[in-house]
Structure 1
């Protein structure tokens, strides 16, 4: 019979060993609304697990402006998905800082109370997509796998796995999982002039793209819904900055527009991200000045 002290020490050792082992599917906290897929090292081996997000950065639908068409299509597609109707994987592509990621987060914020769940996956972990699909396949919730800033270089891991999960795999991803991805590249892979030089034209004048181009385009084409985003005009930039300034409790005065334009000029971009950053700075400065006055 073991002494109480020895039992206590053994219990502590077992707890430490348990932390060194990967969590089983039964140990996933399915009450969470958002997850991150994380690969961890356990006793010299690597395994992925769903890590609940404790503090979710929700985005209100009202702060997404100058993207009405994209918002309508993404929300409609997501509502179809949540209601168990056919829906598409989505690729949001275009200029940086134009609200692609924010729109996905706003969409999730709107539908998370209707059973929608979000799984954030780094590009480097896309090779685990089949494992993620298997883990959630028997769950009643609807899951969106969210990959931000997606693009691939030649020979990079995850490319084939993503193609398989989007379309073409023998193993179905099920009816409760979709992929929403953002990218600054529409075709997700670098394009070279030599690829076009390898294209050919038949005797009827029909252009046949080279196999390399076909391969690069095939991944993008597996997303059923493409939403494109474009650089903002000065007017659009200021309208976004105004929304965020009011959101942060800042004051719109005569100096505000001049400051907003100078802020964008210093950063060489009139993007939504720059408008957001300016608004945080402006609202913080002006509110601090009022407190110190």
Structure 2
């Protein structure tokens, strides 16, 4: 093979290699979204979030996560956090609301969201964040792993950091409906089919143990559900008779077959629309 042919092959491979991500303008936004292929951090003009006082029924999780995040933003030791539990109870909303509260206290931490599908590129993202002049709250929403899913191995780079260690200016928050990030039947299948069942299960289940904070979210009571809606009404100036609100809200959650913060917001969205109130 001639030198010219080898040169063309080398140049072709070089073109196929992803270009290194450009250093973002950290002053451009409060939050960014990580995209892979090509690698880039895109600024978010306006974060979709609710105010922290409107998140009711999750007081312990709220206070714990806020204190942990404030410690991190002040340059003090803090833990990675896993927010797990019932659907629609404000896990991702809490992360975004806590970030807003940190900014309100003049602590300029940035929020960076990474999609579960982009976890294999997390090492490249960490290399970019390691030299960032800001503190970064790295966030992955709805994190879970299915059968034969190897993305969880990439996540260990965030939680443990390998030989380099997790960047001092980065903390990782994830939300999941599953406490161990994997379905129960997957765990049971590992136990029944692996050569060494305990080791096979341990490799996957121990991933959640690498989070210093576990914050559980559980289904809300009817009183908490109604209090959420009343809080939204007060915050947005929606006027409605208490008995009418109670009857409509209970009927709404009965038709949905569920009661959660998400269902409360969905009812309130419908109510605000009927009352001509913009959100």
TM-score where L is the length of structure 2: 0.85
Residues 250 and 287, structure 1, Cα contact 8 Å, conserved in 2:
no
Q: Choose which of 159, 167, 172 in structure 2 pairs with 1:174.
A: 167
Q: Which residue of 2 aligns with 1:73?
A: 64
Stretch deviating more after TM superposition (109-118 or 72-81) = 109-118
Do the aligned residues in 1 keep the contact of 2:225 with 2:260 (CA within 8 Å)? yes
Aligned to 2:117: 124
* Alpha-carbon distance in 1 for matches of 2:90, 2:78: 22
Deviation at 1:137, TM superposition (A): 1.1
Counterpart pick for 2:210 among 222, 230, 242:
222
- Give the Å deviation of 1:22: 5.5
Partners of 2:227 and 2:204 lie apart in 1 by 36
The answer as to 2:55 corresponding to 1:93 is no
Contact preservation (8 Å) 1:250, 1:284 = no
1:52 and 2:49 are equivalent in the alignment: no
Q: Which residue does the alignment assign to 1:25?
A: 22
Distance (Å, rounded) in 1 between the aligned partners of 2:68 and 2:223? 29
Q: 8 Å contact 2:226–2:249 — kept in the other structure? A: yes
| Post-superposition offset of 1:216 | 2.4
Distance 1:161 1:197 in 2: 25
Q: Deviations over 1:129-159 (max 9, x none)?
A: 1111111212231101111110001332421
User: Which whole-Å CA distance do the structure 2 matches of 1:63 and 1:23 have between them?
Assistant: 41
Note the 1:247-262 alignment, pairs <5 A.
247-253=235-241, 254-262=243-251
Alpha-carbon distance change, 154 to 164 in structure 1, aligned in 2, over 3 angstroms: farther
SS in 1 for 2:83: strand
Query: For the Cα contact (< 8 Å) 2:21–2:39, is it kept in 1?
Result: no
Q: In structure 1, what is the equivalent of residue 74 of structure 2?
A: 83
Structure 2 distance, partners of 1:82, 1:89, is 13
Measure the CA separation in 2 of the matches of 1:195 and 1:58. 39
1:269 aligns with 2:266: no
Q: Deviations over 1:61-115 (max 9, x none)?
A: 1111111111111011101101111111000000000011111011010113411
Counterpart in 2 of 1:233?
221
Q: Say whether 1:183 aligns with 2:176.
A: yes
* Deviation for aligned residue 1:249: 2.2
Q: Which has the larger radius of gyration?
A: 1
Rounded to whole Å, the distance in 2 between the matches of 1:212 and 1:157 is 13
- Residue aligning to 1:144: 137
In structure 2, the CA distance between the partners of 1:24 and 1:91, relative to structure 1 (3 Å rule), is closer
> Over the residues paired in the alignment, what is the CA RMSD in angstroms?
2.1
TM-score, normalized by length of structure 1? 0.81
